[in-house]
């Protein structure tokens, strides 16, 4: 199966995941951004799959994205089990840096939306040091609560007025995906949901070692770092994902 973009994909528990790569995803984002197209990109993991499984509304949000990457290693394994050849992981924080490098080279301005003022400034400093020609005309750290319509309209106008062609959105799943879908058509830019990438790249939050990531155990490292915040999420989602996907896999092979 292929998407309208021509990419092979599969539905994992009803959520679409595209078989892309860092190079392919970066090229697509840069091309859309250069044309001022209003699109959004989701970087999916087990948490996102289970959020879509539990909500028809959220499943539609993700499945309507222009691109859905396999951010989590378990989803790479799932795609391979569903007979997608040559699939690779496209991890949101790593994709972020590929896109920033390309944007700096192509002169595509980037807006940062999410985090705290301190985390945004720290991440912006990292980007400016690594890519001196990068343009960051808009940094917005919205409050950690539901915005009023007036606040949302003001932030949206700030992004539009900045001329940004790419918006890095780091307010966490599923909030960031809903935000991107709600602003599709309102912001003439490619919106990329990147989760905790601001904090990872600024060094404010540690990333899992590469060996744990390759083993699909990044969640365990993050749980050890933030047990009080994350234990309920992993306890609820991870066992259900394994059981439900095995049922899907066995059903597809029987069919």
List the domain range (segments joined by +) for residue 122: 9-202
154 within a domain of the structure (yes/no): yes
Question: E strands of 98-195, at which residues?
Answer: 110-114, 138-140, 166-170, 190-193
pLDDT in tens, 12-46: 999 999 999 999 999 999 999 999 999 999 999 99
- Domain contains 67: yes
103-127, pLDDT tens digit by residue?
Answer: 999 999 999 999 899 989 999 999 9
Domain count across the chain = 1
116: in domain: yes
Question: Residue 38: inside a domain, yes or no?
Answer: yes
In-domain check, residue 153: yes
Does residue 240 lie within any of the structural domains? Answer: no
Q: DSSP 3-state assignment of 40?
A: strand
Compute how many other C-beta atoms are within 10 angstroms of the C-beta atom of residue 4. 6
Decide if pLDDT at 3 tops 80: no
Cα separation, 223 vs 234, whole angstroms: 8
Q: Is residue 249 situated within a structural domain? A: no
- At which residue do the structure tokens 């951010």 appear? 71
Q: Which two tokens stand for residue 111?
A: 């807006």
Neighbour-count burial for 31-61, b at 16+ CB within 10 Å, e otherwise: ebbeeeebbbbbbbbbbbbbbbbeeeebbeb
SS3 state at 169? strand
Tell me if 242 is assigned to some domain.
no
Going by pLDDT thresholds of 50, 70 and 90, the confidence category of residue 212 is: low
Is it true that the peptide bond before 220 is cis, omega within 30 degrees of 0?
A: no
């Amino acid at each position: 199966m292929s998407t309208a973009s021509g990419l092979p994909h599969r539905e994992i528990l009803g959520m679409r995941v595209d078989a892309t790569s860092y190079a392919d995803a970066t090229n697509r984002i840069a091309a859309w951004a250069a044309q001022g197209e209003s699109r959004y990109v989701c970087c999916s993991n087990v948490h996102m799959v289970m959020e879509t499984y539990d909500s028809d509304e959220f499943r539609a949000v993700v499945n309507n994205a222009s691109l859905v990457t396999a951010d989590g290693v378990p989803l790479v394994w799932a795609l391979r089990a569903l007979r997608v050849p040559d699939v690779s992981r496209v991890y949101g924080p790593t994709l972020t840096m590929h896109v920033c490098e390309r944007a700096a080279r192509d002169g595509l301005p980037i807006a940062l939306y999410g985090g705290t003022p301190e985390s945004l400034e720290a991440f912006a400093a990292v980007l400016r040091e690594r890519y001196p020609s990068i343009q960051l005309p808009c940094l917005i750290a919205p409050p950690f609560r539901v915005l009023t319509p007036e606040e949302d309209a003001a932030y949206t106008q700030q992004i539009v007025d900045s001329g940004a062609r790419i918006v890095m959105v780091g307010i966490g799943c599923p909030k960031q995906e809903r935000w991107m879908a709600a602003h599709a058509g309102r912001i003439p830019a490619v919106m990329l949901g990147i989760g905790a990438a601001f904090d990872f790249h600024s060094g404010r939050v540690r990333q899992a070692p590469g060996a744990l990531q390759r083993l699909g155990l990044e969640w365990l490292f993050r749980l050890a770092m933030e047990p009080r915040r994350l234990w309920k999420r992993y306890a609820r989602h991870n066992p259900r994902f394994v059981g439900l996907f095995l049922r899907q896999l066995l059903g597809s092979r029987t069919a």
